[in-house]
């Protein structure tokens, strides 16, 4: 199994592409939260790691914060870090769950949400499975809700295909940050028109890490 704690160490170097990607994800999340009209938006982050993307953004919104969030990761050390960070930032409405995010039972109690974070997942599951996740995504979102996702740009560059799969699933592209950066950060939105595209109903697993 991959050392996910060690993977997070790259965030410590502000010049690393991971640290630069983090800044993009945070900015996009901030913008998404700003544009939501729901009074108490719900956020779900799958494979959330130590949650620094979400917690960093929500922490800046205390005390006016109205967002409730669920962060899921399967590594107990990372979820402990996320719990500590959320507590330290006074984010009482952020729940951290140590669970298998590929199992829909792990988050069935909170969907649909207004923001779904799928960061650091698509490069770690079979590429054909990425399409399945994307086709199921509209069913996890409220109308007007956003999915924020990442996909690295290593060859073969899968970013264009991921973007087109989101469009085909009826999720309108709001922003995409990619080339010349080695990462891709996408933001797609569920609109009333999204209902015209078929949504894949997930019955058991959303994805399995390779």
Cβ closer to ligand SAM: 75 or 114?
A: 75
Question: Two tokens at 40?
Answer: 């108490």
114 interacts with ligand SAM by CB under 6 A: no
120 interacts with ligand SAM by CB under 6 A: yes
Give the number of other Cβ atoms within 10 Å of residue 154's Cβ: 11
Query: Which residues 11-70 are close enough to bind ligand SAM by CB under 6 A?
Result: 47-49, 53
Which of these, 125, 103, 151, 133, lies nearest to 210 by C-alpha position?
125
- Is the peptide bond preceding residue 122 cis, with omega within 30 degrees of 0? no
Which of these, 125, 143, 157, 184, lies nearest to 134 by C-alpha position?
125
Which of these, 1, 120, 145, lies nearest to 53 by C-alpha position?
120
We find the least distance from the C-beta atom of residue 101 to ligand SAM, in angstroms, to be 4
Among 65, 119, 133, 169, binds ligand SAM (CB under 6 A): 119
Contact letters (x/-) for ligand SAM, 88-107, by CB under 6 A? Answer: ------------xxx-----
C-alpha 112/C-alpha 95 separation (Å) is 16
Chain length of the chain: 210
We find the least distance from the C-beta atom of residue 190 to ligand SAM, in angstroms, to be 21
Among 36, 41, 68, 73, binds ligand SAM (CB under 6 A): 73
Cβ closer to ligand SAM: 1 or 196?
A: 1
- Chain positions contacting ligand SAM, by CB under 6 A: 4, 7, 47-49, 53, 72-75, 78, 100-102, 119-120, 209
């Amino acid at each position: 199994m991959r050392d996910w704690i060690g993977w997070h160490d790259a965030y410590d170097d502000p010049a690393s592409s991971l640290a630069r990607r983090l800044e993009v994800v945070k900015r996009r999340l901030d913008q998404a939260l700003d544009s939501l009209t729901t009074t108490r938006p719900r956020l779900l982050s799958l494979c959330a790691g130590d949650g620094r993307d979400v917690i960093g953004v929500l922490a800046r919104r205390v005390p006016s914060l109205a967002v409730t969030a669920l962060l899921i990761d399967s590594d107990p050390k990372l979820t402990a870090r996320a719990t500590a960070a959320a507590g330290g930032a006074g984010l009482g409405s952020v729940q951290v769950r140590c669970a298998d995010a590929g199992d829909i039972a792990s988050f069935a109690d909170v969907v649909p949400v207004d923001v779904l974070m799928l960061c650091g997942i698509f490069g770690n599951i079979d590429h054909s499975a990425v399409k399945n996740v994307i086709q199921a995504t509209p069913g996890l979102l409220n109308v007007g809700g956003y999915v924020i996702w990442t996909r690295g740009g290593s060859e073969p560059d899968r970013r264009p295909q991921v973007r087109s799969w989101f469009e085909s699933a009826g999720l309108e592209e709001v922003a995409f940050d990619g080339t010349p950066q080695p990462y891709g950060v996408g933001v797609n939105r569920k609109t009333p028109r999204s209902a015209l595209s078929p949504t894949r109903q997930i019955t058991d697993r959303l994805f399995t890490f390779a």
